[in-house]
Structure 1
Amino acid sequence: MATILAVDDSPSIRQMVKVVLAGAGHTVIEAGDGAEGIAKVKSNTVNLVITDLNMPVMNGLDMIKNLRGLPSVTGVPILFLSTESDEGIKQQAKAAGATGWITKPFKPEQLLAVVAKLIRA
């Protein structure tokens, strides 16, 4: 199974993501903002990153831009999990290197289906 980094400033969202993904057999590492997410990626091998957009310290877009500059993360899928659904922001995310987008609130089965697709790709 995969090691997945969940980056969100909301502990309850991180917990929900962790419960859903750990229940499917994945290992979940948590970070509370983009800067912490980058630090976790540098010290762990991850198969997928799930991130929020709006966070303190470093937002999801800036984190993705930084991650895409790291050789160890080149082929790692990055999934946005955000309340934002604006097409312009989605385009910015894609340009920064995001692989996919799920709008909060999410359904557990939707998250599992997208994760399964991304880690198989």
Structure 2
Amino acid sequence: MNILVIDDNKSVRENISKLLTSVGYTITTAVNGLDGFEKAQKESFHLYIIDHLMPLMNGATLTKNLKQTPFCAPTPVLFMTTQNKQSVENLPEFNLFSNVVTKPVNETKFMSTVKCLLGNVRTKIAL
């Protein structure tokens, strides 16, 4: 399973990548929303993990752009934020997120969420 991790914080990208590769996922990283959007259009991914607040293109705008791109639209989005969940729920793009986690991430809960989202992808692939 290929996952694209988009976060402007290098240590967050590295920690999430290390966590996910340790259980066998293939990880590609992007340093901001624009970089992530370009990579998403060039390669197929099973999950996007997107940070909320980034330069050049924030996570909400990136998600909106991905969902408007037919090649990328079916891929689930795990949205990460340092904001409280209520402020994220007020975003116009909220319904485009498959799930939302707050930072710093709880590794156990994070991995459970990733496995759940990827399990839904496997089910769709099998149909």
What pairs with 1:59-78 in structure 2 (closer than 5 Å)? 59-78=58-77
What percent of counterpart residues are identical? 29
Question: Which residues of structure 1 form unaligned runs of 5+?
Answer: none
Cα offsets for 1:47-81 (capped at 9, x unmatched): 00001111001100000010001111222100111
Distance 2:26 2:52 in 1: 22
> Over aligned residues, Cα RMSD in angstroms?
1.1
Contact 2:85/2:100 (<8 A) preserved:
no
Question: Which residues of structure 2 form unaligned runs of 5+?
Answer: 121-127
Q: TM-score, normalised by structure 2?
A: 0.89
Distance 2:80 2:43 in 1: 21
- 1:101 match: 100
Q: TM-score, normalised by structure 1?
A: 0.93
Rg larger for = 2
Contact 1:90/1:101 (<8 A) preserved:
no
Structure 1 outlier segments of 4+, above 6 Å: none
What pairs with 1:8-23 in structure 2 (closer than 5 Å)? 8-23=7-22
* Aligned: 1:120 with 2:110: no
Aligned pair count?
119
